[in-house]
Amino acid sequence: MRITFIGGGNMAGAIIGGLARQGGHRIHVVEHQQDKLDQLAADYGCSGGQPLPECFSADDVVVLAVKPQQLRELCLALAPVLNGALVVSIAAGIRLDALARWLGSRRIVRVMPNTPAMVGKGVSGLYADAAASAADREAAETVMRAAGLTVWLADEAGIDDITCVSGSGPAYVFYFIESMIEAGVKAGFSEAQARELALATFDGAVELARQSPLPVAELRRNVMSKGGTTERAIARFEAEGVKAAIVAGAMDCRDRSIEMGRELSQE
């Protein structure tokens, strides 16, 4: 495929890296920071420049990877030169109807990726309406599969739903890891030791959950023994409402995603 990324930030770089490993794609990056273009060219052999191409074709894929606040102006500039190219938007919040108004096209796939894409372990939720063909969906999935797992969403509201689980989810995990590191330091380990212990514990627990047929709640109970150390820790978590707070926070995240969509998708 011939793929043009507009924006060369971390998420774009993660996807470009995955596509480069796949091979067989022609990748161009439009980015105003020359140092980013130079680095992407050095790392992945892609071309780059500042102005938008003078003309796209219907066979092209254009990935919108700029900040949401910049998207309306960009789409209005793209509209005269788009010529029916497939648009993949990884910008948070902007609804498909707004993108279609600005671009003059509904050949669009919205994507909610997450930051583990930077190490090829991302999760991306994808949504496209009926204007996108099966080939369009396959092309968008090829782009995002370069960064990890892809999940198709039945409706656009699913973008808000997946935001609160996998889109923002890495921050929840990092928050818990932070807490484990702090506990390790308080217990007497150096920060480096506590970090290594916390990361290895998370890595092992995730792999066990992935490989085991048991529900995660049962895996958790298997670590606990009556009157033991783990039971004491979980009892404190329950008393402090840790699980309830995580669920409530995720729902707050979803609500904010909906709000942002309304705010950012206005004319």
Mean local confidence (pLDDT), 173-202: 98
Percent of the chain at pLDDT exceeding 70: 100
| CA gap 173, 170 in Å, rounded | 5
Q: To the nearest whole number, what is the mean pLDDT of the chain?
A: 95
Token pair for 112: 């909610």
- Tens digit of pLDDT for each residue in 204-222? 999 999 999 999 999 999 9
| CA gap 115, 239 in Å, rounded | 32
pLDDT above 90: residue 183: yes
Query: Rg of the Cα trace of the chain?
Result: 21
| CA gap 30, 47 in Å, rounded | 9
* Residue 93 near residue 257, CB atoms below 8 Å: yes
Q: Categorize the per-residue pLDDT at 52 as very low, low, confident or very high, splitting at 50, 70 and 90.
A: confident
- Tens digit of pLDDT for each residue in 157-176? 999 999 999 999 999 999 99
Q: Which among 9, 8, 2, 19 is positioned nearest to 144, based on CA atoms?
A: 19
Residue 65 CB neighbour total at 10 angstroms = 25
- pTM for the complete prediction? 0.91
- Sign of the dihedral through C-alpha 225, 230, 233, 234: negative
